[in-house]
Amino acid sequence: MKELIDHTFLAAECTGADVDRICQEALDHGFRAVCVPPYFVTRAQKLLSGSDVLLATVVAFPNGYQETAVKVQEIRRAMDEGADELDIVINIAAVKSGDWSYVRSDIESVSTTARLKGKVSKLIVEASTLTEEELKQVCDICNDVKPNFVKTSTGSRGGATVEQVKFLRANLVEEIKIKASGGIRDKAFAEELVAAGADRIGTSAGIALLA
């Protein structure tokens, strides 16, 4: 389980001490990655330098309705500061507005920006806010663009469910991995999500998942 965990702290009140703590916990327990707010990428990079723990941060978090150019700038800055992985919220407002050409362009731009630098893109689709038809169309676009991961949620509008993970796995090509995130606080639930098809688990309760 430990190699599947993105040990995460994204609360608005996150402090440098919190970042120091989760980085040390990730180093101690061998977690796959640490996910921190953009403000703390440089700090976390110094703490994780030379280790096998990857550094992730979020982009357009948590609402996703920033213009594409703003997202691209966020991604470039995060990569310059040492981020290995980018968890990027898609434009939910555009999805809900039925502006599928914009949704596709946005997903293409952010995924390509990360790919060109050899970094990992994880597109947050906020599954709990989408209809099944909307989520299917997002999956179809992702199948064409091929980001590294599709991620269930930010955690701010409901967490991951087994049903969401199963739906994503059934509608995404095999090479696109799935990250389940939000409300995952015990090992049994994490194991259910992995059994349903999750390749990565985002949680602030990483240590509890090892119990």
Count CB neighbours of 104 within 10 A. 18
Strand 54-59 to 5-8 pairing = unpaired
Bridge partner list, 36 = 57
Is the CB of residue 3 less than 8 Å from the CB of residue 190? no
> What average pLDDT values come out for the chain (211 residues) when binned by 10 residues?
97 98 98 99 98 99 98 99 99 99 99 98 98 99 99 94 99 99 97 99 96 83
pLDDT at res. 211: 83
In the chain, DSSP assigns E strands to 5-8, 33-36, 54-59, 85-89, 120-124, 149-151, 177-181, 200-203
Residue 79 phi/psi, 5-degree rounding, is -65, -40
Residues 55, 57, 59, CA angle at the centre, nearest 5°?
A: 155
pLDDT at res. 1: 93
Task: From the candidates 119, 122, 177, 179, give the one annotated as an active-site residue.
Answer: 179
The answer as to CATH 1.20.1250.40 being correct for domain 2-210 is: no
Mutual orientation of helices 41-48 and 16-29 as an angle, nearest 10°?
30
CA–CA gap between residue 94 and residue 99 (Å, rounded): 5
Task: From the candidates 87, 106, 122, 177, give the one annotated as an active-site residue.
Answer: 87
Q: Is 151 annotated in the active site?
A: yes
pTM recorded for the entire structure: 0.97
Bridge partner list, 5 = 201
Any idea which residue has 């966020």 for tokens? Answer: 74
Q: Is 87 annotated in the active site?
A: yes
Return the C-alpha torsion angle 205, 57, 155, 52, nearest 10. -30
Task: From the candidates 71, 119, 122, 151, give the one annotated as an active-site residue.
Answer: 151
Bridge partner list, 59 = 88
Is the CB of residue 57 less than 8 Å from the CB of residue 83? yes
CA–CA gap between residue 71 and residue 65 (Å, rounded): 9
pLDDT at res. 123: 99
The kind and range of the H/E element at 133 are: helix 132-145
Is the CB of residue 182 less than 8 Å from the CB of residue 155? yes
- Ordered alpha helix ranges (H), 83-131: 92-96, 100-116
